[in-house]
């Protein structure tokens, strides 16, 4: 006979476990995560399929690109058979998709290494570069936007507008070349090429990624500054809670930083989530310019060498990161404003 039958009450430990499981099962955030992950599956499949189609439509033969122009027809045929390049398009994609579902992304056509191993070696470089650029852009955008919104039409506001427009007018790869010319060739402050791992030296690692991160981060800083400044000014001029806080004796700067900034962050958070794909895409050219051994540089090399297997793996990783970034953006809405119910919005 159980303890619950003898005492007539459910044990505390069992009741606690049931309550916790019930809360987790009915959590709006968990439901949102589940729905987003289910929606991500067909998106990632479509991205990989379209990539495979485009790589298949490129002119030339992958076997010829790998062996060179001096290869004989026999050698080309042997390589096509060994790499399954002579198989129909849909059959090759089906083999890759089945392997990917099982966690095996295949073997690179050019290096013979496992694509999963190559991605694991290159992804930390790209991730660090993206985070570095993101930190630079947000760390600059928030204080500049706050100072500009404090005095709309003032000196700081006009200067921030001028800087933002100028920064948005320059493409990241052009900015990268200019920064490399000034700070590497002329001033010798930062290295122009190469990468120092974080495990080897923290300081040298940050120096090797400084110019690439600034090249990506400056355009983002300009965009975030304009969006956040506009939201701050709108909140200051139209919301009643601002007048209430000022009537209680709070200073203008305190109201702006403590109350208005949090409410105005929604537009910036949305923009960060939507622009994350652009941020990931910018790393492709930037890594090639600064010779960084990340996913971007590997993707460019794989496209040039017709390494379809590596391209598929890299595109899958990029797509997964973008989907995850948008999911985090949705969850941040609930952190900024607890009144938001993800369960209702997701439904």
343 contacts: CB under 8 Å, gap ≥ 6:
28, 31, 32
Backbone angles phi, psi at 107, to 5 degrees: -120, 135
Among 32-41, 112-121, 201-210, 278-287, the range scoring the smallest mean pLDDT is 32-41
Tokens of 42: 């067909």
pLDDT, one tens digit per residue, over 162-194 is 988 888 888 888 899 999 999 988 988 988 888
Contact 215, 180 (CB under 8 A): no
Burial readout 246-272 (b: 16 or more C-beta within 10 A, e: otherwise): eeeeeeeeebbeebbbebbbeebbbbb
149 contacts: CB under 8 Å, gap ≥ 6:
157, 228, 229, 232, 233, 236, 256
pLDDT, one tens digit per residue, over 260-292 is 777 777 777 777 777 777 777 778 889 988 989
Q: Average pLDDT of 37-42?
A: 79
65 contacts: CB under 8 Å, gap ≥ 6:
305, 306
- Cα–Cα distance between 267 and 226 in angstroms, integer? 11
pLDDT, one tens digit per residue, over 296-311 is 888 888 888 888 888 8
Q: Which run of H or E residues covers position 154?
A: none
- Choose between 233 and 126: higher pLDDT: 126
Backbone angles phi, psi at 94, to 5 degrees: -60, -40
The confidence score (pLDDT) of residue 265 equals: 74
Contact 319, 103 (CB under 8 A): no
> Which CATH number is 115-346 given?
1.10.3720.10
Whether the CA torsion 332, 335, 338, 341 is positive or negative: it is positive
Backbone φ/ψ region at 337: left (φ over 0), alpha (ψ -120 to 50), beta: beta
- Cα–Cα distance between 185 and 333 in angstroms, integer? 44
Among 136-150, 256-270, 306-320, the range scoring the smallest mean pLDDT is 256-270
Percentage of residues in the chain with pLDDT exceeding 70? 79
Contact 92, 48 (CB under 8 A): no
Instruction: Please give the mean pLDDT across all residues of the chain.
Output: 78
- pLDDT grade, residue 250 (50/70/90)? low
Report, in angstroms and rounded to the nearest whole number, the Rg of the chain calculated over CA atoms.
26
- pLDDT grade, residue 32 (50/70/90)? low
Domain ranges of the chain: 115-346
Tokens of 9: 């009450």
Measured CA to CA in angstroms, residue 145 lies from 32, 258, 301 at distances of: 32, 14, 40
pTM here? 0.76
- Cα–Cα distance between 61 and 54 in angstroms, integer? 14
């Amino acid at each position: 006979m159980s303890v619950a039958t003898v005492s007539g009450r459910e044990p505390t430990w069992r009741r606690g476990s049931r309550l916790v499981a019930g809360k987790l099962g009915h959590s709006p955030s968990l439901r949102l995560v589940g729905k987003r992950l289910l929606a991500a599956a067909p998106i990632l499949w479509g991205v990989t399929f379209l990539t495979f189609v485009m790589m298949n439509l490129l002119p030339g033969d992958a076997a010829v690109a790998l062996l060179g122009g001096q290869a004989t027809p026999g050698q080309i045929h042997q390589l096509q058979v060994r790499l399954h390049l002579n198989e129909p398009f849909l059959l090759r994609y089906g083999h890759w998709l089945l392997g990917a579902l099982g966690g095996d992304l295949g073997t690179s056509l050019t290096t013979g290494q496992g694509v999963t191993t190559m991605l694991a070696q290159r992804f930390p470089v790209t991730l660090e570069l993206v985070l570095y650029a993101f930190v630079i852009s947000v760390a600059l955008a928030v204080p500049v936007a706050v100072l500009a919104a404090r005095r709309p039409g003032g000196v700081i506001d006009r200067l921030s507008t001028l800087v933002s427009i100028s920064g948005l007018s320059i493409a990241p790869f052009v900015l990268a070349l200019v920064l490399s010319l000034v700070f590497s060739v002329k001033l010798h402050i930062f290295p122009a090429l190469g990468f120092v791992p974080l495990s080897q030296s923290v300081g040298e690692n940050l120096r090797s990624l400084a110019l690439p991160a600034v090249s990506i981060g400056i355009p983002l800083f300009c965009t975030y500054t304009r969006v956040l400044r506009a939201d701050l000014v709108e909140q200051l001029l139209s919301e009643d809670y601002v007048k209430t806080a000022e009537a209680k004796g709070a200073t203008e700067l305190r109201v702006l930083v403590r109350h208005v900034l949090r409410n105005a962050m929604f537009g910036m958070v949305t923009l960060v989530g939507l622009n994350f794909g652009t941020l990931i895409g910018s790393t492709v050219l930037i890594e090639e310019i600064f010779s960084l051994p990340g996913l971007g540089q590997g993707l460019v090399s794989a496209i040039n060498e017709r390494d379809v297997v590596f391209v598929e793996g890299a595109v899958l990783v990029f797509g997964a990161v973008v989907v995850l970034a948008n999911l985090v953006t949705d969850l941040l809405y609930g952190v900024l404003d607890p009144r938001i119910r993800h369960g209702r919005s997701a439904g």
